[in-house]
Structure 1
Amino acid sequence: MKLYDLIIIGGGPIGLNCALEAEKAGLSYLIIEKGTIVNSLYHYPLYMTFFSTADKLEIADIPFISTAQKPGRREALEYYQGISRHRKININLYEEVLKVTEKDNFLIETDKSKYLARKVIIATGFYDIPNMMNVKGEDLPKVKHYYSEPYPYADQKIAVIGSSNSAVDAALETYRKGAEVTMIIRHAEISKSVKYWVKPDIENRIKEGTVAAHFNAEVLEITPETIIFKDENNTILEIENDFVLAMTGYLPNFEFLKNSGIELHGDHLKPFYNEDTMETNVAGLYLAGVVCGGKDTHLWFIENSRVHAEIIMKDILAKI
């Protein structure tokens, strides 16, 4: 069995950046990705626009040329997958890592094979596990935790749960395709993190009443024909409903992190790592990207976690 200097788990933008830094450092490496290249971006809404400008999404000093000030999902897929093709990044796709075990080296077991590596980076992001509401009826077919495009919801009664970028995009897009949209929001206002060019749009739609919104509200139950929730006055409401778009956020795979030996701390399950090296409590096992934030998935994103690859490689080279 070949012994790699480094195995990178996750082929998103940060995983790709780690691979390019490993190549620059002369290390043998392999990325193992359970889906396609930048799998999370592939599953983003089809017409999503990034908050960041193209230059803030660049990796390895490779220019990201965009015709728009802020690129969209398709341009990002072209950019990152293009880098993988042209730089011939060593990556196994559609292969899921099941277990990482520390011995003399690391044994990485997948659903297809086993690998050995001196060092491991986990750069798995957070988009694969929905943050569940844990209410009755959440498992009904009409409940969707992922949103891609508005067309399936034309002329339907839609409940959008949440007030973040994904919830606001879903509400506005489905409304403009003829859906009757009700937003159910557990906070007192639309999230301050919503893209600044979109926030006034949703607030104005709510103000004029074309999109209904209930703030400080809580979903109690979902039935095949309705959704039941409590509003800010503790009044229980039941309205007709065809689909529920539960844009309640996503979580890292905490079970995988724990099984890899990584300590998780606090209510937000923040994984332990040294901020100067990105090394976890398991020697030789590093974290990179969004996974570093635990439940606080808003702390890290492409723009501010690109530096993780360089930090990690510097530490690895110092220890080889």
Structure 2
Amino acid sequence: MEILDILIIGAGPIGLNCALEARENNLSYLIIEKGTIVNSLYNYPLYMRFFSTAEKLEIAGVPFISTAPKPGRQEALEYYQGIARQKDLNIHLYEKVQSVSKAHDIFEVETSKKKYRAKNVVIATGFYDIPNTMNIPGEDLPKVKHYYTEPYPYARQKIVVVGSSNSAVDAALETYRKGAEVTMIIRHSEISKSVKYWVKPDIENRIAEGSITAHFNSALTEIKENTVIFKDQNNQVHEIENDFVLAMTGYLPDFDFLRNSGIDLTGDCLNPFYDPETMETNVKNLYLAGVVCGGMDTHLWFIENSRIHANMIIKNILAKERK
């Protein structure tokens, strides 16, 4: 069986960048991805726009040409999938990695299709696959959605949006403008400060004028077929009519996969251990790249500031080989 120099788990922007760096340095590599290329971006809301400008999303020195100051989901898909095509990257798609183990300094990676061997492994899996659940009765009802794509199914419906981050605010504004009756349940005292600066005044004004109802310092406690129950800041219980719940409560990395791969997780945010100079974990030659490095703090890393991880990892691998 071939022993690869590097096996990369995840074909997101950072995984692609790791592959490009590996090929640039004549290292054999393979990317394994459980979905399509940049699968997380594919599952973003259809009309989502990035906070970053196009040049800050570029990888491998390939220009990202956007028709707008802030590129959208479709432009990003064209850009990253276009790079994968143009560079003819070695990628296996729709193949899920099930385990990573190590014997005699060689990693054995078992997937849904076969086994691979590699000297080094890079985990660049992101965090968009596992919703951060509320753990309340009724959360498993079909009307509860943890992923939002577009507003049209919610026209003339009574919608509850849980959260106040970018995804929650986008869902609230878009569904409201397509005719939904929108109520936001927000556990904090205000709209999140991380909301895109050109969107934040919009949601605050819609709340102020009463077009969108917002309950701050509140928490959803139960979801029923036709209603939801929540507690307000005075601990009073309210029940309102409801057709759909958009639970925009965030997403988490696959912590079980990280633990089973031997990576130490520490602190309240379950931060995976890695050397910030090399991105190497406590398991020798096993690296992390991209947003997965942040543990539960999923706002710590993003494309713009984690593009450098690829260069750091390949530089460390080459330094070890020279020794």
Range of TM-score over shorter length: over 0.9
Map of 1:174-185 to 2, 5 A cutoff? 174-185=175-186
Alignment partner, residue 267 of structure 2: 266
Q: What's 2:233 paired with? A: 232
RMSD over aligned CA atoms reads: 0.4
User: Which runs of structure 2 are paired with 1:1-320 in the superposition (5 Å)?
Assistant: 1-104=1-104, 105-320=106-321
Structure 2: runs of 5 or more not aligned: none
Structure 2 letter corresponding to 1:97: V
- Name the CA distance, whole Å, in 1 between partners of 2:225 and 2:192: 29
Q: Secondary structure at the match of 2:191?
A: coil
Residues 267-316 of structure 1 show CA distances to partners (whole Å, capped at 9, x for unaligned) of 10000000000000000000000000000000000000000000000000
- Letter of the structure 2 residue corresponding to residue 301 of structure 1: F
Distance in 1, Cα, partners of 2:320 & 2:62:
28
Q: 1:233 offset after TM fit, Å?
A: 1.4
Deviations 1:144-196 (A, max 9, x none): 00000000000000000000000000000000000000000000000000000
Q: Which amino acid aligns with 1:192?
A: K
Render the CA deviation track for 1:88-134: whole Å, top value 9, x for unaligned: 00000000000000112000000111000000000000000000000
State the number of aligned residues.
320
- TM-score for both structures, normalised by structure 2: 0.99
Distance in 2 of aligned mates of 1:227 and 1:25:
56
Residue by residue over 1:213-250, the C-alpha shift from the partner in whole angstroms, topping out at 9 and shown as x without a partner, is 00000111000110100011111000000000000000
Deviations 1:52-99 (CA, angstroms, capped at 9, x unpaired) = 000000001100000100000000000000000000000000000000
Runs (4+) off by over 2 Å: none
Q: Which runs of 5+ in 1 are unaligned?
A: none
CA distance, structure 2, for counterparts of residue 301 and residue 103 of structure 1: 33
Amino acid at match of 2:48: M
Q: Distance in 2 between matches of 1:155 and 1:103?
A: 58
In 2, the alpha carbon distance for the partners of 1:162 and 1:119 equals 39
CA distance in 2, matches of 1:40, 1:113: 24
